[in-house]
Every structure is written in C-alpha cells, then in structure tokens.
Amino acid sequence: DISHESPVYSPAQMEKGGIHYCKHPTVSKLPPTPDETRDFIALVDRLQKEIDDLMEKREDPSLPRPLVGVHCHYGYNRTGFLIVCYLIEQLDYPVKDAVAEFNRCRPPGIRHDHFIDELHARYAGIKRVPTL
C-alpha cells in the first residue's frame, strides 16, 4: 500500500486471510522521490526473496507462486511510477518499454505527464525544461 492515507479495507483482516500487508506511504499527485523509490525497490526485492524461500520449502510445487501487489489510491500514477522504476532498475527495461508495459497491463497507464517526465529525467537523462 503506497498511499499516504489509511486504506478503506482492514489490513488486519487481510493478514488473517493470508495476505501480507506492507505500508510504504507516498504523497498523492507527486512522483515518488529517489529515496522513496529506492526503499520501494528494496521492499519488493525483500518480498520476492521471501517468496523464493517459501517456494523452495513448499512440499507441493504445483501451487501458484504468491504475487506482490502494489496500489496507491487509484493505481495509476504513483503505482505506475514505482512499478516502472522497478522494471527499469531491476529488470533492465528501457524507460519507454517499461512505461508501455505498465500501460498495457493497467490501461490507460500513468495518467499525469509530470510522472512520465520525471521517469525520463531520472532514467533517460532528458533534462527538464524550466516552466514559466
């Protein structure tokens, strides 16, 4: 849960149902900072390692692999931004391909241009143009 707000669901109920809940708050309408991005990537990597360890210990390997779910309030801008950052940093996607993959999987994709601009500035070395 990368929203800054309290979720509309009960994290305790999710835990009771076998869903591990993690809170990684980010501010609405702003691209996550480099520090927030770094911490998000570290969190996902840690969760993936926990899943790998679980899969090795399972007696029945035919059971589906657990997934990592990410959401903010609507699931487009902050969610898309951080998932795209993960694709770029951990899976070596080029920026354009990572954005296209998120858009394909979560149409219509990242909605706010300033999130896309920040991705290009951060990862493609495109300099920001000063605004008036």
Looking at residue 129, its pLDDT comes to 58
Whether pLDDT at 107 is above 70:
yes
Give the residue numbers annotated as catalytic, written as ranges.
Answer: 72
> Quick one: 115 exposed, middle or buried, by C-beta within 10 A (0-12, 13-18, 19+)?
buried
Whether pLDDT at 131 is above 60:
no
CA distance 14 to 28: 24
Q: Does the CA dihedral 37-79-100-31 come out positive or negative?
A: negative
What is the percent of the chain where pLDDT is above 90? 87
CA 101 to chain centre: 13
pTM above 0.85, yes or no: yes
Mean pLDDT of 47-69: 94
CB 12 within 8 A of CB 2: no
CA distance 75 to 86: 15
Whether pLDDT at 44 is above 80:
yes
CA distance 125 to 110: 20
Residue 8 carries which DSSP code? S
Looking at residue 130, its pLDDT comes to 58
Looking at residue 28, its pLDDT comes to 93
Mean pLDDT of 2-11: 92
Q: Residue 105: what residue type?
A: C
